[in-house]
Structure 1
């Protein structure tokens, strides 16, 4: 069921169709940035209030750390997960520069992990969700989103067809962006098969659309049901 992002899938399909065509470079970048703006708080792109604002503006602290059913994660986990994915892929793999996340951010966020959270158990997801500083989580994701927009604005047609470097995948592993666990390390193989265009089409766009749809569904569930799997 669709809870978030009406029209975004169609825009994403359009982007997928044109993104590797040199003649469509500027149009592709503009469309990416339009989609991206709708997947972050509006202050990231200085645009009008959007669905992400609506999702997050009135959430209570405890609602970030509720796992509605045994098949779900939490809103806090999702925001951490999509922020880390975007930070790692856009900064290290696309821009070939340092990620935003560092020891200072780790302390500000009040977390023990540095990876995307793919391999966390339910207990570990709940611990992360209860401990993480929600205000700093929003600040971190905002910083990641703003950096992505700078990176994409600077791309040229040759960049979009550039393959991911194995050395940059090693940097992600060394920096703790993924772990040696099977449910985490597979990301390196997945990203290693992509070019820059392929990365733009997944971690900062398509993947976020799916996760935010889940968050909107969970928010509705949390506010209409009385029993939850974990809270």
Structure 2
């Protein structure tokens, strides 16, 4: 996605916000969501005919850059790996448990084992040790594959929602399921309260779209900062050799 496409994404998100609760716009809302969501995952997830924001992130992304923690950035210290894992975990738990009253993909696909890290929660309020451990040890290919499966399940779920369902408040019983599964750390209990105050439409407009968009953009800025610096170092080393 280039700059003009990102601007269009923002405009379409505003449009989706304005129409998602209108019964006459239900099918248009779903189609618009699917298009917005497609652009936030790997093009492999939906066979997207255009390059996506995630494609832009992973193109030429070095594993060292992917895993580096802490990073030097104005608005985060967390690694790109952490950002990708965080948005995927939140999409998984909000769409599959809170919206669909079903099991998380993390467990149905044994991703909790394939990822090779033992963190069942959203990543909010993690300690520095935990973030460093996740950044160094998570299986990156498994993470990207898990993300694809989560994205595809989200699309199945949202494709079947009616305006009436979009208007429904998040069920308190489903919030309790996430609590029992330790999907949110005790220190981050505010997140469950936040989700509990939302409608299903509110979850569609944030965890399943806007939240992902913000973290992918942040990750791209981290990548640019680190790899630009690395390229300069390589040039300097070359100059010394010459």
Task: Compute the TM-score of the two structures, normalised by the length of structure 1.
Answer: 0.92
The residue aligned with 2:90 is 85
Distance 1:25 1:44 in 2: 24
The count of residues paired between Structure 1 and Structure 2 equals: 224
Within-5 A mapping of 1:116-127:
116-127=122-133
Within-5 A mapping of 1:131-146 = 131-146=137-152
**Is 1:98 matched up with 2:100?**
no
RMSD: 1.8
Q: How does 1:67-86 map to 2 (within 5 A)?
A: 67-69=70-72, 71-86=76-91
Alignment partners' CA distance in 1, 2:101 and 2:112 = 22
Contact 2:97 2:104 in 1 (8 A): yes
Structure 1: gaps of 5 or more residues:
none
In structure 2, the partner of 1:21 is: 22
Q: CA deviation at 1:176?
A: 1.5
User: 1:121 offset after TM fit, Å?
Assistant: 2.2
SS of the aligned residue for 2:119 comes to: coil
User: Displacement, 1:198?
Assistant: 0.7
Rg larger in structure: 2
> Is 2:169 the partner of 1:166?
no
Q: Deviations over 1:105-129 (max 9, x none)?
A: 1111000211011111233212101
Deviations 1:166-192 (A, max 9, x none): 1100000111211211xx211110000
Whether the 8 Å contact between 2:21 and 2:163 is mirrored in structure 1 is: yes
SS of alignment partner, residue 5 of structure 1: helix
Write the deviation string for residues 25-59 of structure 1: whole angstroms up to 9, x where unpaired. 00000111110000000111111232321211322
Q: 1:185 maps to which residue?
A: 189
* SS at 2:105 equivalent: coil
Question: Per chain length, whose mean CA-contact separation is higher, i.e. which structure has more relative contact order (CA < 8 Å, sep 6+)?
Answer: 1
Higher helix residue share: 2
Shift of 1:215: 0.7
Q: 3-state SS of the aligned residue for 2:151?
A: helix
**Displaced runs of 4+ in structure 1, greater than 3 A?**
none
| CA positional deviation for 1:68 | 2.2
Structure 2: state its 5+ residue gaps.
233-242
Contact 1:44 1:145 in 2 (8 A): yes
Partner of 1:225: 229
Choose from 188, 191, 208 the match for 1:204.
208
1:151 aligns with 2:152: no
- Counterpart position of 1:50: 52
Q: Is the 8 A contact 1:5 1:209 kept in 2?
A: no
